[in-house]
Amino acid sequence: MLRNKINSRALTLGSWITLGHPAIAEIMARAGFDWLVVDLEHSVISIDVAGDLIRTIDLCGVAPLVRLTSNDPNQIKRVMDAGAHGIVVPMVNTPADAAKAVAATRYAPQGSRGVGLARAQGYGANFQEYLKWQSAGPVVIVQIEHKDAIDQLEKILTVAGVDGFIIGPYDLSCSMGIPGQFENPEFIAAMIVISSSN
């Protein structure tokens, strides 16, 4: 399970998919990656195409993750029901944002996700197995991409169920008023703060 590897700090290798063709997903999944992210935020991939990509990646034995368009519980529920093993959540600026994302991947009482019988649950046949998995299995990666998140970084990263983070350098630099200026001392100082929290 990917979450166990992440939490044990085992090295994992992954990549990003922004083109919505199942053959691309299959080629990538057979290239030796541990995980692949289907990007809904900055692509034209629709939810039905995302379902096809998730299925293809999963059937190749690789963990499919989905980067969301936003921290939307309804979208989280849909990609998780389609069989995603986890989510990458953009613009997480507070511990409450992080907790909301984690809760949306899990059923009550651990979370707030509605229960459906789709591919993830074997269309009902594997519900009990999935019920056990969803309480601790979903991977949640938060994106740190706003200056407000830096002030609360430690609290964000210690939210139960958050497994890691990705820096969004362009959004972060824009929020600091220095768009794309990655050599700017202010941006470098922010990177030092973030790296010291890892």
42 is catalytic: yes
Please choose, from the candidates 106, 86, 185, 94, the residue with its C-alpha nearest in 3D space to the C-alpha of residue 144.
94
**Gap between the Cα atoms of 112 and 71, Å rounded:** 13
Lookup: tokens for 173: 């630099």
Annotated active-site residue in 21, 42, 85, 146: 42
Q: Contact at 8 Å (CB) between 43 and 19? A: yes
Residue with tokens 């993750």: 65
Phi-psi region of 169 (alpha: psi -120 to 50; beta: other; left: phi over 0): alpha
The catalytic residue positions are 42
